[in-house]
Structure 1
Amino acid sequence: MIWRGQGRTHKGRRATNEDALVCRDGEGLWAVIDGMGGHEAGDLAASMVRESLETLSLGGGITHRLVAVETALQTANHAIRHHAAINMRSKPMGATVVVLLIYRGEAAVVWAGDSRLYRFDDDAMAMLTRDHTPVQALVDAGQLDEQQAMSHPRANVIYQAVGIGERLQLDQIRFETRGTERFLLSSDGIHSVLGVADLASLMRHRVSLSGVLKAALDRGSRDNVTAVIVAADREE
C-alpha cells in the first residue's frame, strides 16, 4: 500500500504567500508550514523549514523517522534564530509546522503552533493535533466552543513555533493506520474560517484541493491558504 499526498497553496488576499508545503510520497512524509514575521521574514522562515524537511534523510522505522524530523526542525529553529539575529536585528520570525509520517501501517504527527492535522474515516472528522495557543487552552478547559474560538480576538496568538524560542518544543502523537483514512493537513488560513463540520463535508464530497482553498476564501479567510490531502493508493 502506497500513501500519496497532494498539496496546494495560495496567497489568498495577502500580497505574498508565506505558507509552504512538502509532499514526499516515496518516503511517507507530508507537511504544511505557515511563516510568521511579515513578508520577508515569514516567507524566509517557511522556506527554511520546508528545505529542512525536503532534504532530511529518512530511514528505519517510525521511531527513527520521528527522530530525523525532530532533529531537522531543531536545526531549522537554530538557523532561523541565527538569521534573525545577524540580518534582521532579531526581528521576530518563525513558522508553524505540522508533519505527518506514515510507514508500514504506523503513523506519527509532529507539530509546533497552529497548523493542523485532521483524520477523516468512517464518515467522521477528527482533529489530531492541538494548537499551541491560549485559545486552545480555553477550548480544552471547556470555556470556549469551536465557533467562539474561531472568532476570539486572540485566535492568532501562538506560543510555540519554529524559530521563536531558543529550544523548540514539539508535540507528537503516534497511531496505527487502517488504510481507509484520508488525512488533511492545513494552515490556519483554512481552519480559522472552516470548522470541523465544514471540513468533514468537503472531505465527504471529495472536494478538490482547489475547492477546499476556495471554500476558505469564500468564507472570508484573509490569510494565505494551504492544504495537503493524503490517502492510500490501495491498488499498489
Structure 2
Amino acid sequence: MSCWRGLGRTHAGRRSANEDALVCRDGEGLWAVIDGMGGHDAGDLAATMIRHALENLALGGGIAHRLLAVDAALQSANHAIRHHAAMHLGSKPMGATVVVLLIHDGEAGVLWAGDARLYRHDPSRTSAITKDHTPVQALVDAGELNEEEAMCHPRSHVIYQAIGNGDKLKLEQIRFAVEAGQQFLLTTDGVHSVLRLPEIHQLLVEGASESAILKAALNAGSRDNVTAIKIAFG
C-alpha cells in the first residue's frame, strides 16, 4: 500500500463545460490530470476515456512494470479515441493532454504527453519535473524566452503531442527517487498558464489546498478549466 495521499479537484472555471478530468488511486500510488481537447462532446469524452483507462488499470510489480502498464493503457486509449473520432466525428480533432504520476517503494515515475505538468515541492524550492511538449517550451529551453514571456506568447497553447493526436503516441517519462518530506502537484494548463513558478511555490509553502490553488488560478484570470492534485506523504 502506498503511504502517499492525493487530494484533487477539477472545475469548469469560466467555461460552460469541463473537459478536464483527474484520477486519484492512493492505494496503488497513481495520480493523473487530463485536459481534453476538441470541444464539448469530443474533449470531455476523450478525457473520460483516458480516466476510465487509468482507473481500471491493473497495477503490480516495481516502478518499471507500472510505467509499462500505464504506457500500454494510454496507447490503447489513443487508438480508441482515434477510432471514435473517425467513426463518429468525421475525424474532427479529439484528444487530451495527460500527466500520470506513479509512486512505489521510494521511487516515482511520471509519463506525460502535452502540457499538463508535474511539480515537485521541497521546503526550500518548487521545480517543474515535466517539460511541455510545445514550440514555446522549445524556445524556453533554447534561452530565447523566459517563463513570463512564454506565458504571454501567442502560440502558448499550441502543443505537438497529445493522446489522440496521431496514430503513433510518444509518451515521455522520467524516474526519480522520492522522500517523505516532498510534495507533488499535478496541474492542467488552466492553472499554470496564469500562475508562475514563484506563485505556485508560495502557495505550496503556505499549505494551500488544491481548491485554493484553483481559486488562485481563476483569480489570476484563467479562462480555461482548472484541475490540480496535491500529493503528500502520510
Q: Equivalent residue for 1:53?
A: 54
Between the aligned residues of both structures, percent identity stands at 65
Q: How many residues align?
A: 233
Q: Equivalent residue for 1:104?
A: 105
User: Which ranges of structure 1 fall in alignment gaps of 5 or more residues?
Assistant: none
Q: Equivalent residue for 1:6?
A: 7
Q: What CA RMSD, in Å, does the superposition of the two structures yield over aligned residues?
A: 0.6
Please give the alpha-carbon distance, in whole angstroms, between the structure 2 residues aligned to 1:186 and 1:53. 17
Is the partner of 2:200 in helix, strand or coil? helix
TM-superposition CA deviations, 1:159-209 (whole Å, max 9, x none): 000001101010000000111100000000000000100000000000111
Q: Equivalent residue for 1:82?
A: 83
Q: How much has 1:217 moved relative to structure 2? A: 0.3
Runs of 4+ in 1 over 6 A off after TM superposition: none
Q: Equivalent residue for 1:179?
A: 180
Instruction: Show the 5 A alignment for 1:220-235.
Output: 220-233=221-234
Please give the alpha-carbon distance, in whole angstroms, between the structure 2 residues aligned to 1:203 and 1:159. 30
* TM-score when normalising by structure 1: 0.98
1:44 aligned to 2:27? no
Preserved CA contact (<8 Å) 2:123 2:205: no
Q: How much has 1:40 moved relative to structure 2? A: 1.0
* TM-score when normalising by structure 2: 0.99
Is the partner of 1:101 in helix, strand or coil? strand
Instruction: Show the 5 A alignment for 1:181-200.
Output: 181-200=182-201
Please give the alpha-carbon distance, in whole angstroms, between the structure 2 residues aligned to 1:105 and 1:57. 20
Is the partner of 2:217 in helix, strand or coil? helix
Q: How much has 1:123 moved relative to structure 2? A: 2.1
Please give the alpha-carbon distance, in whole angstroms, between the structure 1 residues aligned to 2:169 and 2:52. 17
Q: Which amino acid aligns with 2:60?
A: G
Preserved CA contact (<8 Å) 2:137 2:150: yes
Instruction: Show the 5 A alignment for 1:51-200.
Output: 51-200=52-201
